[in-house]
Copies of this chain bind each other. A is one copy, B any other.
Amino acid sequence: MVRGKIQIKKIENTTSRQVTFSKRRSGLLKKAHELSVLCDAQVAAIIFSQKGRLYDFASSDIQKTIKRYAEYKGEYFVAESHPTEQYVQVSFYISVLSHFYVSSITYRNLY
C-alpha cells in the first residue's frame, strides 16, 4: 500500500494522535532494538506520552547508558565549553542526583 507523505506538525484530532502515537512509539522502540543488535550499538530511547506515561527501551542497563552519556558530556565540557556553561551543566547533574540522594534517605527511613 502506498500512502502520501504526511506533514510533520502536531496532529490536532485527539483520536488520530493517540493511534499515531501508539503505532510510531512501537515502531521507534523496535527500530532502536534492531539498531542495537544489527550494529552492536548501545541504544536508549525514552518516550513520555502527552499524558505523561513513560515508554522506554535500552539495549543494556539504561542507567549505565545515561551514566556513559553524562560522562561523555562531562569530558566534552572540559574540551569545548565555556566555563560558565560547564558550571550550569554540572549543576544540573548535581540537582538531579540530589533528588535521588534525598529520596534514598526517605526510603531508608521507611524500612
Contact = CB atoms under 8 A, between A and B. Distances in A.
B111 A83 contact: yes
How many copies of the polypeptide does the oligomer hold? 2
Interface in A37-75: 37-50, 54, 56, 63, 65-72, 74
Contact of A66 (B17, B66, B94, B103): B66
B70 A100 contact: yes
A97 B93 contact: yes
Interface in A13-40: 17-18, 20-21, 24-25, 27-28, 31-35, 37-40
B72 A90 contact: no
B38 A48 contact: no
Contact of A31 (B24, B46, B91, B110): B24
